[in-house]
Structure 1
């Protein structure tokens, strides 16, 4: 953050680390709750989270429909930084919610403008790391970790989040068996930008 200059991150520079973590954690919680309502959420400058229905072959060799989380990286971000990632398509009937900065502001007791600035500046900081070819991790509390190593990007969802999407456990069992999704263990910190 030091080499970005004070004019590049005015909101983050005014907030304490605890304040930034609190805002990012509330944004992550909003994203998770919106996904659980089967709506997609676009994080400006980063990408879109959504839940898609997928037919899987259960251990008993019968087809089962499960809800699978997907992260779609912003195409602009991928193109600019030459990132390699698996690109799924957003189903035509998917409702994409914008971040509700007012709701996040209400939950954190910060002005809406501060919340919006914080989220956008974290996204900008993450993109700056990518521009410098740094490996980076962006933690979404209780949801997962967006990991960039070299030019490869991967969203690693937490097991508890997968269980909250599919209480039968078939989704988690299938993904563990077929390694179609990367799982992460929650980090020691609550939420934030881990670089």
Structure 2
């Protein structure tokens, strides 16, 4: 395989399209698998606030087991129920949206995930940003996923659900 150079403007457009796709799929409560990285999903939970019981949909990220085991990482995660349909990040669609080849999209995504793994191998703190969706943050051995407030509001459809979450004891 030839190692194509990474062109920042092209890479930026492709990553923005991948983030947009991820946002759209999660908003439809569809799980998305990113090969070599993990799975984004939406789970429904009942949350008890100070005032009432609220049903919320909550996005979650499950880092690939191989990455967790290879680097001795730790994080608390919400189980993703089994037997759910999971879509793989659609490189062909992202390529079409950006007028590039599918192999170029695969190359950029694979190189990004490989760089993420190199940072882990070198014991560096690393953050992988999915624009307007989430950040996967690894500090030392701890893994955190922070979802953007605007995305959470869009996912739940109302700020009142978020207010209920913030009032949880």
Shorter-normalised TM range: over 0.9
1:20-39 map, 5 Å: 20-39=11-30
Partner of 1:156: 146
**Equivalent in the alignment of 2:8:** 17
Confirm whether residue 105 of structure 1 aligns to residue 98 of structure 2. no
* 2:33 is aligned with 1:42: yes
Number of residue pairs the alignment of both structures matches:
169
Corresponding position of 2:126: 136
In the alignment, is the contact (CA less than 8 A) between 2:50 and 2:168 conserved in 1? no
* Aligned-residue RMSD, C-alpha: 1.8
Structure with the bigger RCO (C-alpha within 8 Å, sep 6+) is 2
Are the aligned partners of 2:129 and 2:136 in contact in 1 as well (CA < 8 Å)? Answer: yes
Runs (4+) of structure 1 exceeding 3 A deviation are 174-179
Deviation at 1:46, TM superposition (A): 1.1
The residue number in structure 2 matching 1:182 is none
Cα pair distance change 1:177/1:45, threshold 3 Å: farther
Q: Which runs of 5+ in 1 are unaligned?
A: 1-6, 180-195
TM-score, length of structure 2 as denominator length? 0.93
Report if aligned partners of 2:31, 2:40 keep a CA contact under 8 Å in 1. yes
Tell me the CA shift for residue 108 of structure 1.
Answer: 1.1
- Structure 1 position 167 matched with structure 2 position 157: yes
TM-score, normalised with respect to structure 1 = 0.81
Does the CA contact (< 8 Å) of 2:48 and 2:168 recur in 1? no
Residue 178 of structure 1 and its aligned partner are, at CA, apart by 4.5
Q: Distance in 2 between matches of 1:171 and 1:85?
A: 25
C-alpha deviations, 1:94-119, integer Å up to 9, x for none? Answer: 21111111110011111001001110
Give the aligned partner of residue 111 of structure 2.
121
SS at match of 2:77: coil
Structure 2 Cα separation of the partners of residues 149 and 175 of structure 1: 25
Please point out which of 62, 81, 90 is paired with 1:91. 81
